[in-house]
Structure 1
Amino acid sequence: MSKFNAEWLVVVGLLLYFYLVAEPSKPFVRPFRLSDPSIQFPFATHERVTDNQLYVISCILPSLAITAWCTALLKRKKLTKFQFQQLVNTSLQNLWLSISITGVITDVLKAWIARHRPDFLERCGPIVGTPIDKLVGIEVCSAPLGQIYLVDGMKSTPSGHSSIAFAGLFYFSLWIYSRIGHLSIGYQLSSCLPSLLATYIALSRTQDYRHHYSDIIIGSAMGIAIATITFFRKEKDKTELPL
């Protein structure tokens, strides 16, 4: 089995673990106080960036854009067919390694840290008579939104939207810069656009009261770090697209 195929198997394995094991895993249950102001925010029924939108923007769109870019190089005879296959395979493989590794690490940390989300009390729906200033457990929760939302309310740190957004979009920024970094400053700055989009996605999680600011800082840093490592681990081809 070739090295390329073996690494794609790693990606598939990580994605399966992410969706089948890490995502539905139950977090450690920490006590809380009803008087804690950091968990008293309202539950937003409409998110600015949903999970599905996150995956499309951060995973699918960069994959399509990279493939289209390389196809343009091939059609303009700037790449041989072999070089095209190598560049597309390496670029997409590293992109999806960044995304899958980030997703798994994020969910493992969410379950271990088990921090309550800013909107946790609304997810909990504490029963009448629950002490306000004493530590209590989830046995006082009526879970008006359902058990799924209650459990998810204990997975605040780190922010998954932030980590995955930067894992995909910061990687894409690095990839764009590696292709056009020799051009004018205007073109170089354009490589920052995907990262700006990732920043918006991360900040939107505080507006939706899904995460604390520290959650998005940790998640963003994770995504940036993993994207950087996966991008530079075997970035050998510096093919540039003439404009």
Structure 2
Amino acid sequence: MARFDVSKITAVISGLLNERLGDWIFILVCSLVYWYAEGLEPVQRMFRLDDPNIQYPKAKKEHVSSELCIVLVFIIPLLIVSLTPVVFVGRRNRLALIHASVLGLVSTFVIDGAVVDILKVWLGRPRPDLLDRCRPAPGTPTDQYVTVEVCTAKKTHSLNEGFKSTPSGHTATSFSCMVFFCLWLNGQTLALRPRSGLVKPALSFSPLLLAFYIAISRTEDNRHHLLDVMLGGIIGSTFGWALYRRYFPAINSPKSYIPHLDVEEEETDPEPLLGSDNV
């Protein structure tokens, strides 16, 4: 019996990886693009010293740093979607669910990040704290457009980042991962069943509050304009929804907890997480 179980698991893993190998290769390519785009120098648009939109001070400490943002909206959800099926899903079905969940969330994070970083470099919009980063030379005209050459600050990472305002990367990452995670929670718990009550939907959508908090904090830290945050939210939400639907049915589907698979389904359907309707 043990030998049969091992061979069965091996066959399932092999089938999953073979059928989704193209997706993993695409993720690897996007990861390289993401990493490369992070180091590119953005378009440095001309600006005016009397523009009130770029006269804000640079916050010394952010509400949510880049590292903390990744931990909150990507690492923690990744652990949840990876480990929860081990506890709640039958052995015959958990590998397919874990693979689809991890693949979906990782692709959401990487593809969204690559696209947003490329847009930042191309658009080159000044951040609200640009002048604080730039420190213009005394006597620089305030009533006409000038270039980055008037800055006394060296062309460091900080100054380059001053031209990467649109769209907000924190916001896009937060909404892409949190939208995917919320849809995953809804789908796995059948939260939208008519008899599910209010607790499941409320808990399933609650991670979006974190995305909104991070988005708002970017304006409080003078890192982004309101339009940057709104655009980041739209881009992130779009990727989160689209990539969830690539790997899972709609959350109002009777079998929303079963991932789309290109390998043969088991004879019996798996059970949803927390499948009781009275919660």
Match 2:61 to one of 24, 36, 46: 46
User: 2:5 aligned with 1:5, yes or no?
Assistant: no
Match 1:163 to one of 152, 168, 172: 172
Equivalent residue for 1:55? 70
Q: CA deviation at 1:12?
A: 2.3
In the aligned structure 2, how far is the partner of 1:139 from the partner of 1:153?
14
Q: CA deviation at 1:29?
A: 1.6
Q: Deviations over 1:14-69 (max 9, x none)?
A: 122212x1111111121000000000001001000001001111111110011222
Equivalent residue for 1:148? 157
User: 2:42 aligned with 1:27, yes or no?
Assistant: yes
Question: What amino acid is the match of 2:32?
Answer: L
Higher mean alpha-carbon deviation, 10-19 vs 131-140, is at 10-19
In the aligned structure 2, how far is the partner of 1:214 from the partner of 1:187?
33
Equivalent residue for 2:209? 196
Equivalent residue for 1:241? 273
Match 2:83 to one of 68, 87, 111: 68
Equivalent residue for 2:7? none
Q: CA deviation at 1:4?
A: 2.2
Question: What amino acid is the match of 2:156?
Answer: Q
In the aligned structure 1, how far is the partner of 2:95 from the partner of 2:21?
13
Question: What amino acid is the match of 1:90?
Answer: A
In the aligned structure 1, how far is the partner of 2:247 from the partner of 2:181?
15
The DSSP-based 3-state class of the residue aligned with 1:2 is helix
In the aligned structure 1, how far is the partner of 2:27 from the partner of 2:19?
13
In the aligned structure 2, how far is the partner of 1:110 from the partner of 1:2?
35
Equivalent residue for 1:213? 226
Q: CA deviation at 1:179?
A: 1.5
User: 2:190 aligned with 1:172, yes or no?
Assistant: no
Q: CA deviation at 1:129?
A: 0.8
In the aligned structure 1, how far is the partner of 2:144 from the partner of 2:256?
60
- The structure with the larger Rg is 2
Equivalent residue for 2:124? 114
- Name stretches of at least 5 consecutive residues in structure 1 with no aligned partner: none
Equivalent residue for 2:91? 80
In the aligned structure 2, how far is the partner of 1:129 from the partner of 1:47?
32
Q: TM-score, normalising length from structure 1?
A: 0.93
Count of matched residue pairs: 236
In the aligned structure 2, how far is the partner of 1:42 from the partner of 1:54?
22
Higher mean alpha-carbon deviation, 205-214 vs 230-239, is at 230-239
RMSD, matched Cα: 1.4
Higher mean alpha-carbon deviation, 6-15 vs 214-223, is at 6-15
In the aligned structure 2, how far is the partner of 1:67 from the partner of 1:98?
15
Question: What amino acid is the match of 1:223?
Answer: G
Q: TM-score, normalising length from structure 2?
A: 0.81
In the aligned structure 2, how far is the partner of 1:115 from the partner of 1:171?
28
Question: What amino acid is the match of 2:24?
Answer: W
Question: What amino acid is the match of 1:70?
Answer: P
